[in-house]
Amino acid sequence: MLKQTVLVTGGAGFIGRYSVKELLDNNFNVVVVDRKEKPQHLDCQYFQMDVTSHELAEIFKKNKIDYIIHLAALPSVADSIKMPLIDCRDNYQATVNVCTIAKLYNVKKIIFSSTAAVYANPQYLPVDEKHPVSFLSPYAITKSASEHFIQYSGLDYIIFRYANVYGAGQDTSGEAGVVAKFFALMSQGLPVKIHGNGIQYRDFINVKDVAKVNVIGLQSDIEGEIINVSTNTRTSINELFEVLKEETGYILAPEHTSSREGDIEKSVLSNNKLISLFNFVPSITLRSGIKEMVNGLH
């Protein structure tokens, strides 16, 4: 059978690289567009380009794109507060451009990477997909606007709202990954700062589970759905600190600093819909995911 081709926007990024690998393992042709230089070991066709550019259509002219996994974004709450116009371009404008061209070229389905940030400080926990959306940052606003544009675009879609994604190879320069940040500091024996008292909690999901969900979503007949991608497990930042401390052999105590604007107090996402629609249960525990990160150091 003819291989199906998937365009992965932001394919050089953290979730992108794992999604590309998962697609290749599942026998898809993969085309990546990202404005970064092509990373080594990314074994697919690669276009270094901004997804907001008109030239994006050239990729669709040259390749029959069957599906899209749209991951390109400015994935940082703090950056979105500092640079709302850039957030608007890389999150909303990018999505409008990708969807408009995808529609012209009859793409079969788009998978979109939305976020738990659209639930702000939830009214109830675990948050399900029926929970109203609300906004503490430009990032949450442009992700939500992107969701609406995708629904308006006429494309078949699945919108995944990811919880906090972590795993080996996550960029530590942004604020997107608290696991990656703590891990990098602890590996070097440097002090770790916890914003606030550390009892705020999150739902951490391993990037390999997220990549699997992206590909399962693309292969399934399900469309027109918004689905949380999470473990439905709450982990406080203090607990995260302890697990990382035990696994890395770190010896210092954390420094507590003031909490940050835009930060969500408590977040844990119901994954009932994910499990019932796809019969898939994210299986990588936080400790085993962190052990894998530690093993990667040796």
User: Which residues lie near ligand NAD (CB under 6 A)?
Assistant: 10, 12-16, 34-36, 50-52, 71-73, 75, 90, 94, 113, 115, 162, 164-165, 171, 176
Question: At closest approach, how far in Å is the CB of 165 from ligand NAD?
Answer: 4
Nearer to ligand NAD, 10 or 191 (CB): 10
Nearer to ligand NAD, 18 or 298 (CB): 18
Nearer to ligand NAD, 39 or 196 (CB): 39
Q: Provide the total of helices (H) and of strands (E) in the chain, helices listed first.
A: 11, 13
Residue 39, classified by CB atoms within 10 Å of its CB into exposed (0-12), middle (13-18) or buried (19+), is: middle
Nearer to ligand NAD, 101 or 252 (CB): 101
Catalytic-labelled residue, pool 139, 157, 166, 250: 139
Alpha-carbon distance of 102 to 157, in angstroms, equals 11
Known active-site residue 119: no
Q: Which residue is at the shortest CB distance from ligand NAD?
A: 13
How does DSSP assign 180-203, residue by residue?
A: HHHHHHHHTT---EEETTS--EE-
CA distance to 13, 59, 121, 164, per residue, from 170 (Å): 8, 27, 25, 12
Question: At closest approach, how far in Å is the CB of 51 from ligand NAD?
Answer: 4
Determine if the peptide bond prior to 126 is cis (ω within 30°): yes
Nearer to ligand NAD, 163 or 186 (CB): 163
Q: Helix, strand or coil for residue 99?
A: helix
Question: At closest approach, how far in Å is the CB of 145 from ligand NAD?
Answer: 13
Q: CB neighbours (10 Å) of residue 2?
A: 7
Q: Where are the beta strands (DSSP E) in 21-105?
A: 29-34, 45-48, 67-70
Question: At closest approach, how far in Å is the CB of 281 from ligand NAD?
Answer: 19
Question: At closest approach, how far in Å is the CB of 160 from ligand NAD?
Answer: 8
> What's the chain's Rg over C-alpha atoms?
19
Q: Which residues are catalytic?
A: 139
